[in-house]
Amino acid sequence: MFELLAIHPAASEFGQFLILGLVLGSLYALIAIGYTMVYGIIELINFAHGDLFMLGSFLALGIASGLGVLTAEAGVAWIVLTIGLMLVATPLFCATLNVTIDRFIYRPLRKSPKLTVIVSAIGVSFIFMNIGLFWRGATPVKFPDLIADTNLIDGTGLRFTWKDAMVVGITVPTMIGLTVLVKFTTLGKAMRATAQNPHAAQLMGIHVNRVIAATFAIGGALAGIASVVYGLYIKSVDYQMGFQNGLYAFTAAVLGGVGNIPGAVLGGLVIGVVGELGKAYLGAKWSEALIFGILIIILLFRPTGLLGARTREKV
Amino acid sequence: MAVLEVHKLTMRFGGITAVNNVDLTIHPGEIFSLIGPNGAGKTTVFNAITGIYEPTGGEIRFNNQPIVQPLTARTFVFALFVGITAGLLLMILAVNIEALWQTAIRDNFKGKDEPFDWGQAFADAGSHIAGRGDRAAAGFGIGLILGVAGTLASWRRARHAPDFIMRGGIARTFQNIRLFQSMTVLENVLVGMTRDLTAHPLLSALNLGSHQQQERDAERRAAEILAFVGLAGKHNELAKNLPYGDQRRLEIARALATRPQLLLLDEPAAGMNPSETAELMQLIRTIRDRGITVMLIEHHMNLVMGISDRVAVLNFGVKIAEGPPAEVCRNPKVIEAYLGQEEVS
Amino acid sequence: MSLGRMWVLLLFVALAVYPFLPLAEANRGEQFTILFIYAILALGLNVVMGYAGLLHLGIAAFFGIGAYTVGILTVPFLPFQQSFLVAALAAVVVSAAVGIAVTAPILRLRGDYFALVTLGLGLITLYAIRNLDAITEGTKGMNPIEAGPLPGIPDTVDMSAWRLRPDWSMRWYKYPYLYFLSLGTLAVVMLLLRNLEASRLGRAWVALREDELASACMGLNPARLKLAAVALGAGLAGLAGAFYAMALRTTGNPQAYDFTLSIIMVCCVILGGLGNRSGVLLGTFILMGFDRIITNILDNELQALQQRLNLGFGGQAYTKVSGWKLMIFGTVLILMMRFRPEGLLPEARHQRELHPEVAEAQGEAAAKIEAGETIRDK
């Protein structure tokens, strides 16, 4: 295994893996934000989030098949229309589903211990997975390859394709928009207040359940957007992909300091880059182990994540 | 000689100085009270003494010993052991554990019925590692450093830990009662007695030998303590179902079960009615008469003035007076600190 | 002894006489053996989660370490060639040691962070098992595992006189009695855990779970207590893994020790009743029994029915009961958490922790009585 260390990719290859890592990382970041927001507000590790993402990608796939837009030859107008429709319908679908789940499954458990809610989330995850299985079967399904792999930075020795540009072009504005929402709108303020102290927030006239529902909606919508981007970028989806990607995203959230949105973004990028560099220097089969290794090492030195706040118990 | 000496204790949280250069000396067999308006830093002093907070500055000595776990040879040996283990592990990983296994074990294995040449296997393993000397050394070195540093760091974090301090002989109760709510009264006291039960867990699992004897002894002593604080006959009630005053008494019983030399009581009379308070005063005296030094935080002035041998007054984290109760309550600084802020009953 | 406790005893007796009954089937016995093994694993997890209150999402790793320790120490193509007893003891020791070594550094992490790191450690273990081909045979699994039961003593147990079902001894090659061995081990584990619960360690774990700070102020060392729980839990998981490898005669694909197993074990423990031995046993039997036995039976029945009626809708995931497995698991978990979060057989203490309103009502009632008394006293 470690003989692989002998492979020393050239500097340009290092740059290439860095680019790949950042692109993939921004995708993880988008999913991670959904985890981190929900955790921040009700301290729930939402195990179903990754599977919500999986269902989103299945819906996106359904839209593409429904419109018959399955290859890049379909014409730019059709492709733009299809992707546009995916980017509207999938987030809506995921947000609605997430809010519904919260309303009927998590809300009745608001006063229960954490473990109870986490186990419910695991249950929801199982159900989503089963729905995915019925929807598209047990084997991986090809996702339409709609975006060209043309290199945009020819001549530099690096590759940055239209696909990469699409990922960055969708994820970065989304994250900026979210930051603005949380920082400057009334809803964002209500969210932050609820996250700090739900009881006090309620006393201040904040409709806590509505704020929580909004959080689930935003988190779900982000997972929906991420699922479209993922499908277009990776070009293959299956009913178990929610687990793996959800796990990475959750790891990203914890790495950054769970509950902290910039932390989730940072965590996502770190995981993306570490995973890709791990593939380059240790071989693909060790890159997953490396991601969790890094997570553990970072938590050993910063027990509440990279940007997490430290807390002290009141005696 | 003093039981407890607090020397220039300072506690800072961020920019706030909760306790500032406080000196306290508690003599054996006395009842010493710490009073002061709300937020004066009394509980913070208790938390620093019992290891919940690590003091920002100053020193606390119990029986003339600092209350931090000393760095002994044992700690070093243990750290070295951890370091060497981690080093060996990392070394094996660094020289490619798979190739090592292949050369040492698989290549030397001739068949199920042939004898395996262990000497050859170790020799091959040795030469494999020697052939990658730099990596092996680097791996071992990193592992050793990480292991030793990690162990010492965790010792450093735990050296001021509450459990270590308690085992030295300081027990406490809490201002906002912290009983083990869903355990019974008896079990709460038995938890305090854990130090007396030395039978190996393996014996406990087999329910053998010294385990049974010790459990019986512990239950008998627990019953004595419960009778002593006035909770006889409530052994099997859940702690959380006890009335408030009984919960406070149970906290004292649990602390006494640890056989302390010094007992810290944080507002033991809070929420008690006058008759319960009178009983409590008597209880505290009896505890003192049993040879346990008592240090207490209390707002209830009748109680403080009635039983204390000496009183210290904190205000805004600074000690403003100390002495016999009669003297302290005439002290103009004390009167000023209290006036208009709190009812002196 | 109440019926509530009697059922465990009755269950054990029934399972012990099962192989002698005319209705017994050897392959059913094999499936039961796997259930007993999973029950040991679940009891191990229960020590960590139910007693010490640590959410552990990587217990399957220790199960795998146990299985692979037995594999490495017994397979005919490696030089160790130990007996099962030695290998199983080694599996317990190695699992417990790994448990301590990997948990000690992460103990200071708070609840959810701890849970995630255990999940990560579980996955790292799985990847290591999968990737270290030279040692673990990678995805092929180590086989055959056919060690003798005791060091240096040939297996002399002759089962022909036991009047078991005729094909019973065909199944396990050298271990016709593996069924009894695993059932007996499970019973012993139950007994030991019962004693431990009533000892200082058991009380200390409860105290720790309720209030870590207060228990530290009572002289309990939280780190050491948690490590003890993890060591015991991991050791039991390793023991279960050792039996698992023996029962299958192979370590199987490393996938058998992945996160899914950890999560299902968590579900077994919670479904049965966190912290309650009998409950965990029941939860495991129900969940794993459904997973391993009942879905198979139903699938076969359904297929037979389809063929008889010539319906021609076979082959789809949703036409098989096994296709609905996750849906059923998920629904059961959600309903349980909503209506009976304390599990089927709740441990009294956990029930009180999960239903604060009941205790509050009791507390208020007690307070009223107290108030009434004081008024009367005056």
CATH class of A2-138+150-301: mainly alpha
Across the interface, whether the CB atoms of B191 and C215 are under 8 A apart is answered yes
Contacts of A294 in chain C (CB under 8 A): none
Across the interface, whether the CB atoms of B97 and C203 are under 8 A apart is answered no
Cα distance between residue B173 and residue B196, in whole Å: 20
Across the interface, whether the CB atoms of B96 and A315 are under 8 A apart is answered no
Phi-psi region of C166 (alpha: psi -120 to 50; beta: other; left: phi over 0): alpha
What is the chain A residue with the closest CA to B92?
A: A2
Number of domains present in the structure of chain C: 1
Would strands B170-172 and B65-66 be described as parallel, antiparallel, or unpaired? unpaired
Across the interface, whether the CB atoms of A2 and B94 are under 8 A apart is answered yes
What pLDDT does B336 receive? 83
Contacts of C79 in chain B (CB under 8 A): 105, 108-109, 116, 118, 121
Across the interface, whether the CB atoms of C127 and A129 are under 8 A apart is answered no
Query: Does residue C330 fall inside a structural domain?
Result: no
Q: Radius of gyration over alpha carbons of chain C, in Å?
A: 23
Cα distance between residue C8 and residue A215, in whole Å: 46
**pLDDT (tens digit, 9 = 90+) per residue, B53-76?**
889 989 999 998 888 888 889 999
Across the interface, whether the CB atoms of A1 and B97 are under 8 A apart is answered yes
What pLDDT does A6 receive? 43
Of B105, B161, B174, the CB nearest to C79: B105
Query: Does residue C63 fall inside a structural domain?
Result: yes
What pLDDT does B71 receive? 84
User: What does residue B115 show for φ and ψ, rounded to 5 degrees?
Assistant: -70, 140
Query: In which residue are the tokens 């000393």 written?
Result: B70
Across the interface, whether the CB atoms of A116 and C127 are under 8 A apart is answered no
Of A2, A3, A312, the CB nearest to B93: A2
Closest listed residue to residue B263, CA positions, set B192, B331, B210, B340: B192
Q: What is the ipTM of this complex?
A: 0.89
Band of pLDDT at residue B200, cut at 50, 70 and 90: confident
Q: What kind of architecture, by CATH, is found in domain B178-259?
A: 3-Layer(aba) Sandwich (3.40)
- For CA atoms C52, C57, C58, C63, the dihedral sign is positive
For chain C positions 285-304, those within 8 Å of chain B (CB to CB) are none
Closest listed residue to residue C91, CA positions, set C268, C264, C245, C281: C245
Cα–Cα distances in angstroms (integers) from residue A235 to residues A83, A145, A302, B17, C102, in the given order: 14, 6, 36, 59, 38
Contacts of A247 in chain C (CB under 8 A): 119, 123, 259
Angle between helices A186-196 and A11-42 (to 10 degrees): 70
What pLDDT does A146 receive? 85
DSSP class of residue B339 equals T
Chain A contact for C128, CB < 8 A? yes
What pLDDT does A112 receive? 85
Contact between residue A201 and residue A194 where contact means Cβ atoms under 8 Å apart: yes
Contacts of C104 in chain B (CB under 8 A): 154
Chain A contact for B56, CB < 8 A? no
Question: Does the pLDDT value for residue B41 go beyond 80?
Answer: yes
Query: Does residue C11 fall inside a structural domain?
Result: no
Across the interface, whether the CB atoms of C220 and B194 are under 8 A apart is answered yes
What pLDDT does B77 receive? 94
Question: Does the pLDDT value for residue A312 go beyond 80?
Answer: no
**pLDDT (tens digit, 9 = 90+) per residue, A214-271?**
999 999 999 999 999 999 999 999 998 998 888 889 889 988 888 888 899 999 999 9
Of B50, B116, B182, the CB nearest to C79: B116
Across the interface, whether the CB atoms of C220 and B163 are under 8 A apart is answered yes
Cα distance between residue C55 and residue A116, in whole Å: 12
What residue numbers bound the domain in which C43 lies? 16-274
Query: In which residue are the tokens 């201040």 written?
Result: A204
Contact between residue C170 and residue C181 where contact means Cβ atoms under 8 Å apart: no
For chain C positions 299-328, those within 8 Å of chain A (CB to CB) are 317-318, 323-327
Contacts of C354 in chain B (CB under 8 A): none
Sheet with strand B170-172: strands edge to edge = B170-172, B262-266, B293-297, B31-35, B310-315, B318-323
**Beta-carbon neighbour count of residue A130 at 10 Å?**
23
Q: Taking the domains of chain B in order of start, what are their residue ranges?
A: 73-158, 178-259
Number of helical H runs and strand E runs in chain B: 14, 10
What pLDDT does B159 receive? 84
Band of pLDDT at residue B25, cut at 50, 70 and 90: very high
What pLDDT does C162 receive? 62
Contacts of B119 in chain C (CB under 8 A): none
Probe site for chain C from B183, B194, B254, B261 (most C CB atoms < 10 A)? B194
Contact between residue B8 and residue B57 where contact means Cβ atoms under 8 Å apart: yes
**pLDDT (tens digit, 9 = 90+) per residue, A79-134?**
889 999 999 999 999 999 999 999 999 999 988 888 889 889 999 999 999 999 99
Q: How far apart are the first and last CA of chain A?
A: 50
Across the interface, whether the CB atoms of B97 and A3 are under 8 A apart is answered no
A276 CB burial (10 A radius; 0-12, 13-18, 19+): buried
| Separation in Å, CA of A310 to nearest CA in chain C | 11
Angle between helices C84-103 and C59-74 (to 10 degrees): 140
What is the chain A residue with the closest CA to B48?
A: A315
Cα distance between residue A122 and residue A51, in whole Å: 10
Region B161-166 average pLDDT: 89
Contacts of C353 in chain B (CB under 8 A): 182
What is the chain A residue with the closest CA to C330?
A: A123
Percent of chain A with pLDDT over 70: 94
Cα distance between residue A223 and residue A258, in whole Å: 17
Probe site for chain C from B182, B188, B208, B211 (most C CB atoms < 10 A)? B182
Cα distance between residue A268 and residue A288, in whole Å: 14
Probe site for chain C from B85, B95, B163 (most C CB atoms < 10 A)? B163
- For CA atoms B169, B173, B175, B180, the dihedral sign is positive
CA atoms within 13 A on the CB side of B127: 8
Contacts of B150 in chain C (CB under 8 A): 105
Of B105, B167, B182, the CB nearest to C78: B105
Contact between residue C269 and residue C285 where contact means Cβ atoms under 8 Å apart: no
Task: Please list the alpha-helical segments (H only) found in A137-205.
Answer: 162-184, 186-196, 198-203
Probe site for chain C from A35, A125, A274, A292 (most C CB atoms < 10 A)? A292
Query: Best-predicted range by mean pLDDT among A86-100, A154-168, A196-210, B230-244?
Result: A86-100
Per-10-residue mean pLDDT, chain C, length 378 = 72 88 81 94 95 92 96 89 91 96 88 86 92 87 81 63 60 67 94 90 92 91 93 97 91 88 91 89 92 88 83 68 87 90 79 59 48 40
Give the CA angle between residues B157, B161, B167 to the nearest 5°.
Answer: 145
**pLDDT (tens digit, 9 = 90+) per residue, A2-35?**
444 444 455 567 888 889 999 999 999 999 998 8
Query: Does residue C217 fall inside a structural domain?
Result: yes
Query: Does residue C359 fall inside a structural domain?
Result: no
Probe site for chain C from A299, A311, A313 (most C CB atoms < 10 A)? A299
Across the interface, whether the CB atoms of B96 and A3 are under 8 A apart is answered yes
What pLDDT does A310 receive? 57
* A218: Cβ contacts below 8 Å, ≥ 6 apart: A34, A37, A95, A178, A181
Cα–Cα distances in angstroms (integers) from residue C143 to residues A45, A49, A78, C81, C258, in the given order: 39, 38, 55, 13, 19
Q: Taking the domains of chain A in order of start, what are their residue ranges?
A: 2-138+150-301
Question: Does the pLDDT value for residue B345 go beyond 80?
Answer: no
Q: Dihedral through CA B292, CA B297, CA B301, CA B304, nearest 10?
A: 20
Chain A contact for B98, CB < 8 A? yes
| Separation in Å, CA of C283 to nearest CA in chain A | 14
Of A39, A116, A258, the CB nearest to C341: A116
Q: What is the 3-state secondary structure (H, E, C) of chain C?
A: CCHHHHHHHHHHHHHHHHHHCCCCCHHHHHHHHHHHHHHHHHHHHHHHHHHCCCCCCCHHHHHHHHHHHHHHHHCCCCCCCCCHHHHHHHHHHHHHHHHHHHHHHHCCCCHHHHHHHHHHHHHHHHHHHHHCHHHHCHHHCCCCCCCCCECCECCCCCHHHHCCCCCHHHHCCCCCCHHHHHHHHHHHHHHHHHHHHCCHHHHHHHHHHHCHHHHHHCCCCHHHHHHHHHHHHHHHHHHHHHHHHHHHCCCCCHHHHCHHHHHHHHHHHHHHCCCCHHHHHHHHHHHHHHHHHHHHHHHHHHHHHHHHHCCCCCCCHHHCHHHHHHHHHHHHHHHHHHHCCCCCCCCHHHHHHHCHHHHHHHHHHHHHHHHHHHHHHC
Would strands B31-35 and B310-315 be described as parallel, antiparallel, or unpaired? parallel
Of C195, C207, C363, the CB nearest to B241: C363
What pLDDT does A5 receive? 43
| Separation in Å, CA of C296 to nearest CA in chain B | 38
Chain B contact for C322, CB < 8 A? no
Chain B contact for C361, CB < 8 A? no
- For CA atoms A29, A34, A35, A38, the dihedral sign is positive
**pLDDT (tens digit, 9 = 90+) per residue, B314-327?**
998 899 989 999 88
**Beta-carbon neighbour count of residue B140 at 10 Å?**
22
* C101: Cβ contacts below 8 Å, ≥ 6 apart: B85
0.80 exceeded by the pTM? yes
Closest listed residue to residue C69, CA positions, set C244, C231, C229: C244
